[in-house]
Amino acid sequence: MLCAQGVATHLMLSSLLLHLARASLPAGCLKVSDILSCSNLELKWIPKELPVTAATLDFNHNHLTKLEEGSFAGLPHLVTLRLAHNYLSNLSPGTFRNTSSLRHLDLSSNQLNKVENHYFQELVGMEELLLFNNHIVRVESKALIRLSNLHKVYLSHNRLTDFPFFSIQEHSHPFLVTLDLSSNRMPKLPVEDIAALPASVQGGLFLHNNSLICECAMYSMFKQWEQKNFISVRDYQVEHTCLVYGEPRASVQFLEHTRFFENCTVKGQNQLWETENNLKVDAGESVLLECKTSLKGQHLTYQWVSPHKEYIVPPGNNDAMRMYANGSLEITAVRVEDSGVYWCMALDRQHLRNETWEVNITVTMHSHEPEPFNTGFTTLLGCVVSLVLVLIYLYLTPCRCWCRKQPLPATPSPANECSAQSSILTPTPPATTEGPGRKVSNNKHVVFLEPIKEVQNGRPKEALISENPKVHVLRNNADSFNSVFSDTTIVA
C-alpha cells in the first residue's frame, strides 16, 4: 500500500514538474520528443528553464542580441543548437559552459564582427560550425585550435582579409574536410601555409569569390588543385577570379582564361603522374590503395575519405569499396566518376597521434579494338542503298523522249518512239495490258499499245484508224487531239 502511494506521488511530482517546465517556455514554442523549436517568435533572450532531455534547440529567426553565461548549461544531451538569423554581435565568455556534448552550432546570419579565442573553447566535441553571412573581419589564431573534432567550418560571406591557416596545420584537425572561406575580401593568400595543410583540408578548402590579386604563386596552387580534381575547383571554376595588377575593374576568370599567366610555371605540372600517390586506372578495373604511415602499434585505426567527402571505414561502404584491417582500400570496379583524391587517416588514439596519406586517381575509358564488319548489317545497308538508287533513277532521271515537246510525226518511226527500255521510266503503269480491242503484249514494260476508243474531254472519241499509217482523218473538224508525246494541241 505504501509502495503504491509512493509511485503515485512520484508520478504527480513528475507531471507537475513537466507542467511547470512547459509553463516557463514562451508561448508558441513547440516541443516534440527531444526537439524544442522556438523559432520566429521575436524572442530577445533565451528561456532560463529548458527541457533537460532536449537534444536539438531551434531559436532561429528571433531578436536575440546577446547570450548570457551558461545559457545552455545543464543540458547533457544537447547536440544541435540553431541560433541563425538573430542580432548577435559577440559572445560572452562562458556562453557555452558545460555544453561539451554539442556537435552542431549554427550562428549564421548574425552580426558577429570577429571570432575571438574564447568563443568556442569549451566545445571540444564540435563537428560542424556555421558562421557564414556575418560581419566577421578577423578570426583569432587560437579560436579553432581546441576544436580537434571539427569536420566542417563555414565562414563564407564575411569580411575576412586573411585567415590563420597555420593554426590548423600539423594534423591538429584530422577530421577537417571542409573549410569554406569563399566570398570574402582576401587580396593575397599565404601559399606556403596552405601548401603545408593536410591533403584532406586542401581538398575541401573553398576560396572562390575573393578579391585575389593575380600572381603566379596563387595561379600555380589553383592549377595543381585543378589537376588533382579537387571539388572546390571543379564545382566553382567560373567563380575563381583575380584582379590584374590589383585593379578592381580588371577581373579575370583565371582557370578558364590562362593567357594572362603564360609566363608562369606551374609547379609539378609535368611530373604530376610520376609520383607514387598518383594513379591512372582504366574504367572497370580493380585498384588497391595502400594507407602508408610511419605509425606503428596495435591501437591504430584507419578511415578513408573519398573525393565526394564520403567516409569509408572497415569493412567498406558497399560492394564497390572494401576496406581491410591494415588500412588498404580496394575499389573493385572503378568508374569515371570515381576520379579524384582519396586520403587515408591513420589514428593512434593511445598516443594522440595521427597521419594522413593521399592518393590521386584518374580513371580513363578503355581503348577498344575496332569491331569487325557485321555481315548482316552490311547486307541490309546495301539493300537500302540499292532501293534508294532505284527510286532516284525512276523519279529523278530525265527522259530523252516523252519529256520533250514536239509535233506528232506523220509516220511513226523507231527513231521517234520510246524504246521498250524507256518504258521503265514512266512512273504510272498502264491500266491494263490486255482486254477487248487490244492485243496482248508480250513485253509487259511497253507503255503504248494499239489505240482503242477512249474517252477524252468527257466525250467518247474513236481512235485514229487507217490502213494507211500516213493518213489520219478526224471525224469532226472541231475536235482536237493531243499528241501522246506532247501537251501541244494539234488540229487537223
CATH number, domain containing residue 323: 2.60.40.10
Q: Are residues 287 and 331 in the same domain?
A: yes
Copy the grid coordinates of residue 19.
Answer: 507542467
Q: Is the pLDDT of residue 466 over 60?
A: no
- Give the number of domains in the chain: 2
Q: Is the pTM of this model over 0.85?
A: no
Copy the grid coordinates of residue 436.
Answer: 477487248
| Cell 558545460 sits on residue | 98
Q: How confident is the model at residue 1 (pLDDT cuts 50, 70, 90)?
A: very low
Out of 170-184, 368-382, 387-401, 433-447, pick the least confident. Answer: 433-447
Q: Give the closest residue to 189 by CA, choosing from 168, 165, 169.
A: 165
Compute the distance between CA of residue 330 and CA of residue 337 in angstroms, rounded to an integer.
16
Q: Are residues 409 and 333 in the same domain?
A: no
Out of 99-108, 259-268, 358-367, 479-488, pick the least confident. Answer: 479-488
Beta-carbon-side half-sphere exposure of residue 491 (alpha carbons within 13 Å) = 4
- State the CB neighbour count (10 A cutoff) for residue 115: 23
Burial 359-394 (b: 16+ CB within 10 A, else e): bbbbbeeeeeeeeeeeeeeeeeeeeeeeeeeeeeee
The answer as to whether 164 is a domain residue is: no
Q: What one-letter code names the amino acid at 116?
A: E
The answer as to whether 177 is a domain residue is: no
Task: Report how far apart, in Å, the C-alpha atoms of 284 and of each of 280, 306, 331, 335, 471 are.
Answer: 12, 18, 10, 6, 88
CA torsion, points 451, 425, 399, 393, in degrees to nearest 10? 180
Compute the distance between CA of residue 410 and CA of residue 334 in angstroms, rounded to an integer.
86
Contact (Cβ atoms closer than 8 angstroms) between residue 338 and residue 361: yes
Q: Are residues 348 and 417 in the same domain?
A: no
Among candidate residues 341, 364, 387, the one where a domain is terminated: 364
Q: Is the pLDDT of residue 477 over 50?
A: no
For residue range 279-328, list pLDDT tens digits in order: 888 888 888 888 888 777 777 888 888 887 787 888 777 778 888 888 88
Q: Is the pLDDT of residue 367 over 70?
A: no
Compute the distance between CA of residue 238 and CA of residue 222 in angstroms, rounded to an integer.
13
pLDDT of residue 274: 39
pLDDT of residue 260: 78
Q: Are residues 410 and 489 in the same domain?
A: yes
- State the CB neighbour count (10 A cutoff) for residue 237: 15
Report the DSSP beta bridge partners of residue 323.
Answer: 329
The answer as to whether 491 is a domain residue is: yes
User: Within its chain, how far is the Cα of 334 from the centroid?
Assistant: 18
Q: Are residues 422 and 350 in the same domain?
A: no
Copy the grid coordinates of residue 253.
Answer: 576568370
The answer as to whether 107 is a domain residue is: no
The answer as to whether 328 is a domain residue is: yes
- Domain ranges, residue 460: 398-492
Contact (Cβ atoms closer than 8 angstroms) between residue 38 and residue 54: no
pLDDT of residue 276: 55
Would you say the C-alpha torsion 144, 148, 150, 151 has a positive or negative sign?
positive
- State the CB neighbour count (10 A cutoff) for residue 259: 7
Q: Are residues 352 and 431 in the same domain?
A: no
Among candidate residues 338, 364, 390, the one where a domain is terminated: 364
Show Cβ contacts of residue 279 under 8 Å, excluding neighbours closer than 6 positions: 287, 289, 359, 360, 361, 362
Higher pLDDT, 176 or 279: 176
The answer as to whether 424 is a domain residue is: yes
For residue range 127-139, list pLDDT tens digits in order: 999 999 999 999 9
The answer as to whether 460 is a domain residue is: yes
For residue range 423-437, list pLDDT tens digits in order: 334 444 444 444 444
Q: Is the pLDDT of residue 221 over 90?
A: yes
Q: Is the pLDDT of residue 64 over 50?
A: yes
The answer as to whether 295 is a domain residue is: yes
Compute the distance between CA of residue 200 and CA of residue 197 in angstroms, rounded to an integer.
8
Q: Are residues 348 and 430 in the same domain?
A: no
Q: What one-letter code names the amino acid at 332?
A: T
